[in-house]
Every structure is written in structure tokens, then in C-alpha cells.
Amino acid sequence: MLSKKVILTGSFGVGKTSLFNRFIFSRFSDKYLTTIGVKVNKKTININGRELSMLLWDIAGEVKQDKVPTSYFLGASGVIYVFDLTRPSTFKNIAEDLDYLNNIIPNSTTRVVGNKLDLLDQPGVDQVKAAISRPWDILTSAKTGENVEDLFHDLGKELISELV
């Protein structure tokens, strides 16, 4: 079985832990609990007949990624960078944060994820699209589960395809 480390990172309160819990445990809680340091768990998924063990690291949110210990990022094959579609402050530094992450883990596969889709209508989504510095890869709602499985499975497919 193939095993890959994937980190969830981004500002505080964007829904990293909620995405983590929705994917691993199929659950959602409205209670906000700050992640201290890092939470690690794994989930095995099947992709085109191959098993992939995703070792998921839910990293404490910081406005600037360079405040997170570098050791948390090392060895990551995948990065899920999450921002909150309803809070502009969480998507102001996307390009800068991604440049920083790319310097630390240059060969990782990155997904930029706009979370909390359930809180916006289409005009709101269009406003966010016009305001961000880098296009997102997928929009999710940890609350409803919308696109959460797709996010992790699509990333898993790319991580496996890197080996072929």
C-alpha cells in the first residue's frame, strides 16, 4: 500500500479541522475549537484499484504560514491550502503563502480550497473570484460535505499518478 503525507493549512478559522473531520469521520460540528499545533490521522482510500493511505496533518491556523514550524511541512506530498470564502482576510495572502510553501516543499501537489460554500450564493462566489490573487482548485462545504470527497480523491489520484 502506498502512503502519502498531506497537510491542511491556511489561516485560523477557515475550516481545516472541519474538512479533516468530514473526510475522516463523516461528521461536522458547529463548535469552533482552535487547533493547537497539529492533529494527525489517516484514511485509506481506493483509487482505480490501488490503495492509498493518506496521512493527514491538520496544522494550526496562522495568518502567515512562516509562523508554523517548518518541520510540520517536511515530507508532505500534498498540500491542501484552505481559505474561507466569507472572510477576505483569509485570501489576501494566498500567493505569498503558496510561494513560501513551495520553497519548503517544492515537489508537493497543492490544492487551493475555498471553504464554507454553503454560506454564499453565486454572486458572492463571483465577488470572491474577482478578489483573490490565485484561482482556487475547488470550492467545498465541510458543513454539507459538498465536494469534500472529491477534493481528497482528486488529490489522491494525482499523488498516485506521480508514481506511474
Residue 8 sits in a domain of what CATH number?
A: 3.40.50.300
Residue 150: CB atoms within 10 Å: 11
Which pTM does this prediction carry? 0.93
Q: Which of 38, 41, 43, 21 is nearest to 145 (CA)?
A: 21
Given a contact cutoff of 8 angstroms between Cβ atoms, the answer to whether 10 and 90 are in contact is yes
Instruction: Evaluate the CA torsion angle 146, 42, 100, 103 in order and state its sign.
Output: negative
Residue 116: CB atoms within 10 Å: 22
Helix (H, G, I), strand (E, B) or coil at 152: helix
Q: Which domain holds residue 143?
A: 2-161
Residue type, 44: T
Number of domain units in the chain: 1
- Any idea which of 25-34, 60-69, 77-86, 138-147 has the lowest mean pLDDT? 60-69
Mean pLDDT of 4-20: 95
Chain segment 41-89, per-residue pLDDT in tens = 999 999 989 999 999 999 987 756 667 888 899 999 999 999 999 999 9
Question: From CA 108, how far away is CA 79, in angstroms rounded?
Answer: 7
Residue 60: CB atoms within 10 Å: 18
User: Cell 475547488 identifies what position?
Assistant: 138
Mean pLDDT of 85-104: 93
Displacement of CA 85 from its chain's centroid (Å): 13
What pLDDT score was predicted for residue 26?
A: 94
Chain segment 101-118, per-residue pLDDT in tens = 999 999 999 999 999 999
**What φ, ψ does residue 142 adopt, rounded to 5°?**
-65, -30
**What φ, ψ does residue 124 adopt, rounded to 5°?**
-65, -40
